[in-house]
């Protein structure tokens, strides 16, 4: 397939013309990769079953793993899902923004888009290009992250081109994504109660400020038990796995991490380290490749770097990668959730 790459910035004098061209592709059932504030998505008309099927194909994604439908206003969900008070309470505070809400689906959403479920995931992104594209397409846009299934989500156009060139009709290059990890996903349980299915920029505390009961699905922090039913189909698939073995070191004193890595004595390793620790690591372990993970307390900086770091390791053929285990607080919970999956739950307590 021929893939057109189009750079778009809000300040372009021909912004509307470029968006219109992309929207024509969506309306015709084609695939357009576009930026959001979280990660890039592969977009298609969510109401067109054939278009949804071609998303699964382009990603190599199992067809029972449903797609999020992207709307340009919270109210646009009305036509596609059964909304309720909790939805509008969340929407008022967090939409547009990096929140996805699971609702009962209306029949206007084909089963292909829903991965066969009765529910549908709804998100109203904040990114200007994403919103303009949805508005111009006049349909909700189904969009999973624009990576080949199982690799880290793309946070810039280069990542997208690596994975999707030749598999989609158009790639919109809108620069680096602001946040860098996928949206927070919640399921509504009742009048004043939600369950967190995937942590993101909107944290548990952010949700608790609006909703009385915020439960955290076990699979957010733990391994899904064999045979257990996943609340979100994505929970059961391996995610974000780099080619090299990733090991997460759970320690407060970096001298323990240094000792552990030295004792393991593996050749061809990468160390992901907080900025404050890098020089101490380098003094002690000379033959490692180092990635700066940003400042220890700056989880937002780490969120922005994580997927780019994981993707880069795949280009360098390391045998092992060592990284710190994030704390499960605030945005740290989103980092923790992605990193334990990338590491297939290999955590070493030091
Ligand atoms: O930030 C994001 O959410 C990005 C951008 C592109 O918007 N999209 C994204 O989509 O991360 P995807 O498909 O890579 O991840 C969506 C997750 C999957 O794990 C899927 O299983 C889950 O949402 N999901 C989708 N529909 C669902 C539903 N009806 N019930 C439960 N989980 C659902
Ligand atoms: Mg994904």
Tokens encoding 336: 């923790």
Give, using CA atoms, the residue closest to atom 33 of ligand 1: 232
DSSP 344: T
Angle at 177 between CA 197 and CA 200, to 5 degrees: 20
Query: What is the number of the ligand 1 atom nearest to the C-alpha of 42?
Result: 6
What's the pTM? 0.97
Assess whether pLDDT exceeds 70 at residue 211: yes
Which ligand places an atom closest to the C-alpha of 144? 1
Kindly state if the Cβ of 203 falls inside 6 Å of ligand 1. Answer: no
pLDDT attached to residue 41: 98
Does any ligand 1 atom lie closer than 6 A to the CB of residue 113? no
Pocket test for ligand 1, best of 112, 148, 164, 232 (most atoms within 8 A of CB): 232
Angstrom distance (rounded) from CA 252 to CA 229 = 35
Residue 230's pLDDT is 74
Tell which wins on pLDDT, 292 or 240. 292
Task: Indicate which atom in ligand 1 lies nearest the CA of residue 41.
Answer: 6
Question: Does the C-beta of 66 come closer than 6 Å to ligand 1?
Answer: yes
Q: Mean pLDDT, to the nearest integer, of 243-262?
A: 95
Mutate to test the pocket of ligand 1, among 182, 187, 195, 229 (most ligand atoms within 8 A of CB): 182
How many A from CA of 153 to the centre of ligand 2? 6
State the distance from the centre of ligand 1 to the C-alpha of 28, rounded, in angstroms: 23
Model confidence at 241, in pLDDT bands (50, 70, 90)?
Answer: confident
Considering only CA atoms, which residue is closest to atom 12 of ligand 1? 144
291-344: per-residue pLDDT in tens?
A: 999 999 999 999 999 999 999 999 999 999 999 999 999 999 999 999 999 999
Residue 102 beta carbon below 6 angstroms from any ligand 1 atom: yes
Least confident residue range of 15-19, 235-239, 253-257: 235-239
- DSSP H helical segments within the chain, as ranges? 15-27, 49-59, 85-94, 128-137, 157-164, 204-208, 254-264, 278-284, 299-316, 332-342
Q: Is the pLDDT score of 234 beyond 80?
A: no
Output the CA 44–ligand 1 centroid distance in Å: 14
Q: Could you give the CA distance from residue 301 to residue 303 in angstroms, rounded to a whole number? A: 5
Ligand nearest to the CA of 235: 1
131-183 per-position pLDDT tens digit: 999 999 999 999 999 999 988 999 999 999 999 999 999 999 999 999 999 99
123 lines ligand 1 (CB under 6 A): yes
Question: Exposed/middle/buried for 50, CB within 10 Å: 0-12, 13-18, 19+?
Answer: exposed
According to the model, what pLDDT value does residue 125 have? 98
Ligand 1 site, residue 324, Cβ cutoff 6 A: no
Positive or negative, the Cα torsion across 20, 25, 26, 28? positive
Q: What is the pLDDT of residues 76-135, one digit of tens each?
A: 999 999 999 999 999 999 999 999 999 999 999 999 999 999 999 999 999 999 999 999
Which of 144, 184, 200 to probe ligand 1 with, by most ligand atoms within 8 A of CB?
A: 144
């Amino acid at each position: 397939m021929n893939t057109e790459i189009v750079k778009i910035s809000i300040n372009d004098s021909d912004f509307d013309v470029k968006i219109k061209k992309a929207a024509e592709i969506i309306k015709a059932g084609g695939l357009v990769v576009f930026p959001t504030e979280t990660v890039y998505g592969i977009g298609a008309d969510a109401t067109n079953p054939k278009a949804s099927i071609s998303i699964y194909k382009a990603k190599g994604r199992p067809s029972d793993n449903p797609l999020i439908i992207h709307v340009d206003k919270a109210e646009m969900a009305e036509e596609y899902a059964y909304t309720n008070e909790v939805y509008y309470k969340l929407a008022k505070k967090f939409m547009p923004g990096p929140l996805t809400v699971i609702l009962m689906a209306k029949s206007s959403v084909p089963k292909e888009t829903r991965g066969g479920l009765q529910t549908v995931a709804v998100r109203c992104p904040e990114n200007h290009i994403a919103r303009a594209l949805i508005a111009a397409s006049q349909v909700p846009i189904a969009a999973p992250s624009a990576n080949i299934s199982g690799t880290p989500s793309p946070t810039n156009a280069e990542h997208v081109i690596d994975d999707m060139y030749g598999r989609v009709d158009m790639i919109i290059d809108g620069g680096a994504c602001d946040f860098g990890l996928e949206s927070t996903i919640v399921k509504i349980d009742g009048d004043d109660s939600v369950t967190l299915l995937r942590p993101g920029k909107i944290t548990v505390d952010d949700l608790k400020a609006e909703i009385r009961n915020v439960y955290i699905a076990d699979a957010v922090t733990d391994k899904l038990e064999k045979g257990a039913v996943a609340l979100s189909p994505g929970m059961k698939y391996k995610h974000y796995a780099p080619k090299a073995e990733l090991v997460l070191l759970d320690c407060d004193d970096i001298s323990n991490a240094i000792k552990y890595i030295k004792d393991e004595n593996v050749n061809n390793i990468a160390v992901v380290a907080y900025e404050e620790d890098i020089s101490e690591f380098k003094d002690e372990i000379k033959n490692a490749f180092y990635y700066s993970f940003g400042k220890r307390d700056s989880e937002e900086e780490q969120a922005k770097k994580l997927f780019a770091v994981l993707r880069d390791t795949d280009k360098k053929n390391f045998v092992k990668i060592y990284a710190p285990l994030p704390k499960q607080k605030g945005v740290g919970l989103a980092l923790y959730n992605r990193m334990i999956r990338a590491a297939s739950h290999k955590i070493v307590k030091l």
